[in-house]
Amino acid sequence: MSFWEYVGSRWEQLLVDSYLHTSAVVQTTLVATVIGVLVGVAVYRSPIGSTVATALTSAILTIPSFALLGLLIPVLGLGVRPTVTALVLYALLPIVRNTIVGLSTVDPSVRDAARGIGMSRLGVLTRVELRLAWPAVLAGMRVSTQMLMGIAAIAAYAKGPGLGNLIFSGLQRVGGANAINAAVAGTLGVVLLALLLDAAYVLLGRLTMPRGIR
């Protein structure tokens, strides 16, 4: 069976896996964004806090994904839970770092004026600082998403959802029927989805970036 015949015959399975893969990546990016922005907001005023937060999230990123997933299995079991946990942890660094950078590059005079005319601390954060930091946060999310597309494939090791299952099963049966086709289809699917999501980010940026700072 040629590659295209394989794709034609497993069309539905490929779509479901692609959907699950994307869904896992997008959802974990969102969760990581919420956590990462909260962490960034908590630490950006303090140089020590910022350094610690960046160092910790970088440390997470240095753990090999295969190892992290494997270590999470005894604690969280198989399936979705270790997958989501690992993906969220990996997505944190770009988002935390960009949030800190974005917030700390807000012109101090803008902050001073905002406080001076009577905006509350929360108001300054939500109406001014986060709006101005948004392009940086979005750039962090974009990097995280790209990274997670690849890492999510490894999650099949922990019986996670997505295109990784095709790759893993294919590679385990090398020499068997359609083994290479499965691995290639899974890999190409990941690349294709990554490109599509990246395009979606460009669109999202267009739609959400305030005109005054674009």
Partner 1 sequence: MSQNEVHSGTGVGRREGRPDDRDVASGGSAVSGVEIRLEEVSKRYPGQALPAVESVTMTIPAGNTVALVGPSGCGKTTTMKMINRLIEPSSGRITIGGEDAHSLHPDQLRRRIGYAIQQVGLFPHMTVGENVGVVPGLIGWRSGRVADRVDEMLDLVGLDPAEYRDRFPRQLSGGQQQRVGVARALAADPPVLLMDEPFGAVDPITRGNLQDELLRLQAELGKTIVFVTHDFDEAVKLGDRIAVLGPRSTILQYDTPEAILANPADDTVAGFVGAGAKLKQLALLRVRDVELGEVPTARVDEAPEDFRRRLTDGRSQFGLVLDARRRPVRLVSAVELRGVTSLRNAGRPVVDTVSPASTLHDALEAILTDDEGVAVVAKSRGEYAGVVGIDTVMATIRALRAEHEGSADEETPS
Residues in touch with partner 1 (CB under 8 A): 107, 109-120, 123, 127-128, 131-132, 210-213
Q: Name every residue whose Cβ is closer than 8 Å to that of residue 114 and which is 6 or more positions away in sequence.
A: 123, 124, 127, 128
The 10 Å Cβ neighbour count of residue 139 is 17
Shortest approach of partner 1 to residue 126 CB, angstroms? 12
Residue (114 or 197) nearer to partner 1, CB: 114
Shortest approach of partner 1 to residue 140 CB, angstroms? 18
Residue (135 or 150) nearer to partner 1, CB: 135
Residue (132 or 137) nearer to partner 1, CB: 132
Residue (180 or 209) nearer to partner 1, CB: 209
Q: Name every residue whose Cβ is closer than 8 Å to that of residue 20 and which is 6 or more positions away in sequence.
A: 161, 162
Shortest approach of partner 1 to residue 101 CB, angstroms? 17
Residue (75 or 211) nearer to partner 1, CB: 211
- Helix then strand then coil, in percent of the chain rounded to 5, is 85, 0, 15
**Containing H/E element for 176?**
none
Shortest approach of partner 1 to residue 115 CB, angstroms? 6
**Containing H/E element for 65?**
helix 65-76
Q: Name every residue whose Cβ is closer than 8 Å to that of residue 157 and which is 6 or more positions away in sequence.
A: 66, 69, 70, 164, 168
- The size of the chain, in residues, is 214
Identity at 42, one-letter amino acid code? A
What are the tokens at 182?
């499965």
Shortest approach of partner 1 to residue 134 CB, angstroms? 9
Tell me which residue has tokens 């905002």.
114
Residue (74 or 212) nearer to partner 1, CB: 212
Shortest approach of partner 1 to residue 46 CB, angstroms? 17
Query: Residue 15 and residue 194: Cα distance in Å, rounded?
Result: 15
